[in-house]
Amino acid sequence: MQKKIKHIFFDLDNTLWDTDRNSKITLQQMYKDVDVEEKYQLSFLDFFTSYYKRNENLWALYRQEKVTKQNILDQRFKKTFQELGVEDEEIWGYFDDNFLDKVVQNNHLIDNAEETLDYLKTKGYELHVVSNGFIQQTNRKVNDTSIKNYVTTITSGEEINKRKPAREVFELGMKKAQALPEESSFIGDDWEADVLGSKKTGMFPVFFNYKKDEKYKQNGFPIIRDLLELKNIF
């Protein structure tokens, strides 16, 4: 139990909400809806691998404020399909128009998320979400799932057009929660944005190594591979 800590902030995507899994399921269905495989002899896996890389890269640039939200929306499907030889506006248009709405209908959470949130709330911690995701998506991912039963505040970097690791995003989260940095912990799956960012603002970071990447080593703060390990910390 961390005695000073009263508030625990969570990143949302791939920390509580299983973004990778939900995106893959959604895209697989959409791929079938418009018969891409049959029309273009392009396997879903080839498409998905290419899309995933491009999307991760665009979000990294978004964090660095080098591209806008609109750039992500305009490029991730169109450029992926073009690169794979699918010059078909109807197809990428279908993904552009429907993906954001459909993905929040697949609402798998990260393994043990609910049990962990329940444990922490029962122990008396106040729980919050701070995400780099778009406002509307962030709200839906919380309010359409059991996460809503546990968290007090929701913050999206888009509210102030800043992204973690920018300190303003953590500060906005703490302001809404009426929390001080020294009584706050931050749990997230992104080393730079979540862990180093929250550490700089004076919060106590915990790295959720959900990809189980061996390169991350203990560095003065805990590293966990399963959310349930938070029970050993708090």
Does residue 126 interact with Mg ion by CB under 5 A? no
Strands 151-156 and 184-188: unpaired
Based on CB atoms, which residue is closest to Mg ion, 159 or 192? 192
Residue from 14, 116, 138, 153 in contact with Mg ion (CB under 5 A): 14
Do residues 133 and 14 lie in contact, with contact meaning Cβ atoms separated by under 8 Å?
A: no
Among the residue ranges 8-16, 113-121, 168-176, 205-213, the one whose residues contact Mg ion (CB under 5 A): 8-16
Among the residue ranges 5-13, 34-42, 43-51, 115-123, the one whose residues contact Mg ion (CB under 5 A): 5-13
Binders in 34-73 for Mg ion, by CB under 5 A = none
Does residue 183 interact with Mg ion by CB under 5 A? no
CB of 17 to Mg ion, least distance (A): 9
Residue from 150, 189, 203, 204 in contact with Mg ion (CB under 5 A): 189
Does residue 158 interact with Mg ion by CB under 5 A? no
Among the residue ranges 41-49, 182-190, 198-206, 216-224, the one whose residues contact Mg ion (CB under 5 A): 182-190
Based on CB atoms, which residue is closest to Mg ion, 14 or 137? 14
Does residue 18 interact with Mg ion by CB under 5 A? no
CB of 117 to Mg ion, least distance (A): 16
Do residues 110 and 18 lie in contact, with contact meaning Cβ atoms separated by under 8 Å?
A: yes
Does residue 156 interact with Mg ion by CB under 5 A? no
Based on CB atoms, which residue is closest to Mg ion, 6 or 167? 167
Among the residue ranges 45-53, 92-100, 138-146, 185-193, the one whose residues contact Mg ion (CB under 5 A): 185-193
For every residue of the chain, DSSP letters joined together read --SS--EEEE--BTTTB-HHHHHHHHHHHHHHHTTHHHHH---HHHHHHHHHHHHHHHHHHHHTTSS-HHHHHHHHHHHHHHHTT---HHHHHHHHHHHHHHHTTS-PBPTTHHHHHHHHHHTT-EEEEEESS-HHHHHHHHHTSGGGGTEEEEEEGGGGT--TTSHHHHHHHHHHHT--GGGEEEEES-IIIIIIHHHHTT-EEEEE-TT--TT----SS-EESSGGGHHHH-
Do residues 155 and 176 lie in contact, with contact meaning Cβ atoms separated by under 8 Å?
A: yes
Residue from 5, 7, 8, 13 in contact with Mg ion (CB under 5 A): 13
CB of 207 to Mg ion, least distance (A): 11
Q: Give the rounded distance of the alpha carbon of 165 from its chain centre.
A: 13
Among the residue ranges 4-12, 57-65, 107-115, 133-141, the one whose residues contact Mg ion (CB under 5 A): 4-12
Taking the chain, what is the end-to-end CA distance rounded to the nearest angstrom? Answer: 4
Q: Note the residues at the interface with Mg ion (CB under 5 A).
A: 11, 13-14, 189
